[in-house]
Amino acid sequence: MGQREDLLAGARRCLVEKGYAHTTARDIVAVTGAHLGSIGYHFGSKDALLNAALLETFDAWGDAIAAAVVAEPGGAPLDRLRRFLDGILALAPEQRAILVASVQAYAQAEFAPEVRDQLVVSYAASRRELAALVLDVAPAEVSAEQARRYGSLALAVINGVVLQWMLDPGAAPTADDLVRAIEGLAAGER
Residue (of 4, 6, 15, 2) closest to 60 by Cα position: 15
Say what the pTM is. Answer: 0.77
Measure Cα distances from 9 to 13, 22, 50 in Å: 6, 17, 10
Three-class secondary structure of residue 179 per DSSP: helix
Q: Residues 6 or more apart from 153 whose CB is under 8 A from it?
A: none
Give, for all 190 residues of the chain, the pLDDT tens digit. Answer: 799 999 999 999 998 888 888 899 999 999 999 999 999 999 999 989 998 888 888 777 777 776 655 656 677 888 888 888 888 888 889 888 878 877 887 888 888 898 899 889 888 988 998 899 888 899 999 999 999 999 999 889 988 999 999 999 999 999 999 999 999 999 998 8
Amino acid at 51: N
